[in-house]
Amino acid sequence: MKNNTSANRYIYHTSGVCPPEIHFKINDGKINDLRFVGGGCPGNAQLVSRLLEGKSLAHVLSDIQGIDCRNGTSCPQELACAIRAVQNGTLDIAESFKVQADSIPRQSLAVIGNPAGDSVAFETILKHILDYDVDAILCLGNLTGDSIDQSGREEIKAVQNLAPGDYKVVRDRYSFHPKSSINHILLINALENEAKLKTKHEKANRIGFK
């Protein structure tokens, strides 16, 4: 394990438990500011956080390993996985972020959770919000969904004759499909087919002399 001489913040994405993320800091080999984020029992999460605050990683691991709750795992077991990921170097230090203060007094706010790239749900929520006289709308989640990887970006760059309208056509075509049935490969193939179809039509409708 790397020697942590200053506090490093980590975000671990869980599997099989209620909270989707575990946030914590490690300072000189000790755990600080532990939070289970996004779900689960707040009371139990606060209790675990308080009991483990300032404990060494070895002490924490000895206390939390082997605790089962559901799906063959638990929040403490996921924390153990997170700590081991830090120790073996597979969990990167979380990037710092800025917290922006809103100095304008607000009487009412609309808060949107995590649209996760579901444009239909997002537009439906916005239309519903318009029925209320809110001062501001806050979105706490991911508007665009999971980002495409580098290989996918290269595939899109290689597609010839793409235009903004092609992206809209593909988006509209799949907007009402179940989100679980849509993936990056499907959308890239749809863009490629749209570009090929457009090229074929352009050649067929070309006017002039040979």
For residue 86, what pLDDT is reported? 95
Q: Which residue has the tokens 């289970």?
A: 36
Place of tokens 């239309």: 127
Q: Give strand pairing partners of 10.
A: 24
The model's pTM: 0.50
DSSP letter at 6 equals S
Q: What's the pLDDT at 4?
A: 41
Please report the pLDDT score of residue 2 as a whole number.
45
CA distance 86 to 2: 9
Task: Check residue 3 and give its pLDDT.
Answer: 44
pLDDT recorded at residue 85: 95
Q: Which tokens go with 133?
A: 């006289």
Question: If the chain, 210 residues long, is cut into consecutive pieces of 10 residues, what is the mean pLDDT of each piece?
Answer: 64 91 94 91 90 95 89 92 94 80 86 78 87 86 71 83 84 78 84 82 57
Report the candidate in 128, 127, 125 with the shortest Cα–Cα distance to residue 114.
125
What is the model's pLDDT at position 29? 93
Tokens linked to 102: 């809103």
Domain-wise residue ranges, the chain = 8-87, 109-139, 150-204
Question: For position 66, what pLDDT does the model report?
Answer: 85
E strands, the chain, are 8-13, 21-27, 30-37, 109-112, 136-139
Output the six-digit token pair for 43: 């009371």
8-87: CATH topology is Enolase-like; domain 1 (3.30.390)
Helix (H, G, I), strand (E, B) or coil at 111: strand
**Quick one: which of 118, 114, 135, 137 has its CA closest to 126?**
137
